[in-house]
């Protein structure tokens, strides 16, 4: 479709928050395929490839199918894909393709299913016919093949071009919430032109976004036992994986998850990741005055953080102990009132209430700690 300045509204996340990627406008005149057109074009290429009658046709059509898939999933320019050396520029282990030259290289992730197809075609019986630069074919031939597939599936010819696929991939990423800076890196955009070309906001949407962000700021700052950072290490065996992450505040969080979960989250070193721990799974103990642990900057041990006690609340049966690290990380532990009394967090005479901390407890340094199996990871 050729856009006419229509606002993209793909819904709001839970809690009523406004996601900027759900509201942007694709400026008028930008050509891109809608989801149905893209699916029809993909199916047309797959049918054409499957209908190859001879080994030579199988190699030729397999080459063009791969060319289409790389353009569709990377958003790369036609010339960049044509210059790919599939033996050195495509890494099937990491699932990525490398584009660029003269010190401006970039790696773009590839879908795992596409990596399997690339491996099968390159290392199969007919793989030897591809050569090092299988996509270095005449651009006129590329256009003819693309136009023919478009006519077969009812997509306008001028919509079946590498440029339209590039626009489509860019908008697809933006609509999925991928930050503009990341989209620019994936597409090899050296300037901010991509924003002006593909993403605008109405004045009303801008006001709503800024207003909502201001409201969300307080909510995010009060989130407890919630951490964001990057994966620093991964250790695995046949069943389980230990994932360590370094948080924005410099804390170390370790999580134990199944190998199935590790694969589903697609985590690897340096991947951005979030972690949460429910309050009942967090333990707390007061640090002795003057001890080595009496520093709210952090204990240095995984899943163990020092914080200043900010509040103690009680229901009469359960006590909620809250603390704040020096970097602003908010922590919360839930324990029985009897345990809280034994630790000196609340006085034995205190009843239920919003603030039942024993005298002198607020402001004291405490250690909040939890087990790796209690940590829930999620992608960011």
> Which has more pLDDT, 25 or 101?
101
Residue 159 pLDDT:
95
Q: What global pTM score does this model have?
A: 0.55
Q: What is the pLDDT of residues 128-143, one digit of tens each?
A: 556 667 788 899 999 9
For the chain, the domains span 26-198, 224-380
Q: What is the pLDDT of residues 192-246, one digit of tens each?
A: 455 555 555 455 544 554 555 444 444 444 568 999 999 999 999 999 999 999 9
Q: Is the pLDDT of residue 14 over 50?
A: no
Overall average pLDDT of the 264-275 stretch: 88
Fold category of 26-198 in CATH: hpI Integrase; Chain A (1.10.443)
Q: What is the pLDDT of residues 31-87, one digit of tens each?
A: 889 989 999 999 999 999 999 999 889 888 988 999 999 999 999 999 999 988 877
Q: Which CATH class is domain 224-380?
A: mainly beta
Kindly report the three-state secondary structure assignment for every residue of the chain.
CECCCCECCCCCCCCCCCCHHHCCECCCCCECCCHHHHHHHHHHHHHHHHCCCCHHHHHHHHHHHHHHHHHHHHCCCHHHHHCCCCCCCEECCCCEEEECCCCCCEEEECCHHHHHHHHHHHHCCCHHHCCCCCCCCCHHHHHHHHHHHHHHHCCCHHHCCHHHHHHHHHHHHHHCCCCHHHHHHHHCCCCCHHHHHHCECCHHHHHHHHHHHHHHHHHHHCCECEEEEEEEEEEECCCEEEEEEEECCCCEEEEEEEHHHHHHHCCCCCCEEEEECCHHHEEEEECCCCCCCCCCCCCCCCCEEEEEEEEEEECCCEEEEEEECCCCCEEEEEEEHHHHHHCCCECCCCCCECCCECCCCCCCEEEEEECHHHCEEEEC
């Amino acid at each position: 479709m050729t856009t006419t300045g229509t606002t993209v509204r793909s819904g709001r996340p839970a809690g009523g928050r406004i996601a900027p990627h759900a509201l942007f406008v694709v400026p008028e005149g930008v050509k891109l395929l809608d989801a149905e057109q893209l699916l029809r074009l993909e199916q047309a290429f797959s049918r054409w490839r499957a209908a190859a009658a001879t080994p030579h046709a199988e190699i030729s059509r397999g080459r063009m199918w791969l060319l289409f898939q790389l353009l569709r999933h990377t958003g790369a320019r036609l010339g960049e894909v044509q210059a790919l050396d599939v033996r050195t520029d495509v890494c099937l282990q990491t699932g990525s393709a490398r584009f660029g030259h003269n010190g401006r290289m970039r790696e773009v992730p590839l879908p795992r299913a596409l990596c399997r197809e690339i491996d099968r075609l390159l290392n199969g019986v007919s793989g030897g016919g591809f050569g090092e630069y299988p996509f270095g074919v005449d651009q006129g031939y590329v256009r003819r093949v693309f136009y023919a597939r478009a006519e077969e599936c009812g997509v306008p010819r001028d919509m079946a071009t590498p440029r339209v696929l590039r626009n489509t991939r860019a908008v697809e990423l933006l609509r999925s919430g991928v930050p503009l800076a990341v989209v620019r890196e994936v597409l090899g955009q050296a300037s901010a032109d991509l924003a002006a070309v593909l993403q605008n906001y109405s004045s009303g949407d801008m006001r709503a976004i800024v207003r909502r962000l201001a409201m969300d700021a307080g909510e995010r700052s009060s989130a407890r036992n919630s951490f964001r950072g990057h994966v620093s290490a991964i250790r695995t065996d046949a069943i389980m994986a230990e994932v360590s992450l370094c948080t924005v505040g410099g804390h170390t969080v370790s999580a134990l998850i199944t190998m199935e979960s590790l694969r589903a989250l697609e985590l690897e070193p340096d991947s951005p990741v979030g972690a949460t721990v429910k309050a009942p799974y967090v333990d707390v103990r007061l640090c002795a005055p003057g001890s080595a642990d009496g520093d709210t900057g952090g204990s240095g041990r995984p899943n163990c953080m020092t914080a200043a006690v900010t509040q103690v609340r009680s229901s009469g049966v359960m006590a909620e102990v809250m603390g704040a690290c020096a970097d602003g990380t908010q922590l919360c532990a839930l324990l029985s009132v009897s345990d809280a009394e034994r630790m000196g967090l609340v006085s034995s005479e205190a009843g239920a209430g919003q603030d039942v901390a024993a005298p002198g407890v607020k402001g004291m340094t405490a250690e909040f700690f939890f087990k790796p199996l209690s940590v829930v990871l999620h992608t960011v």
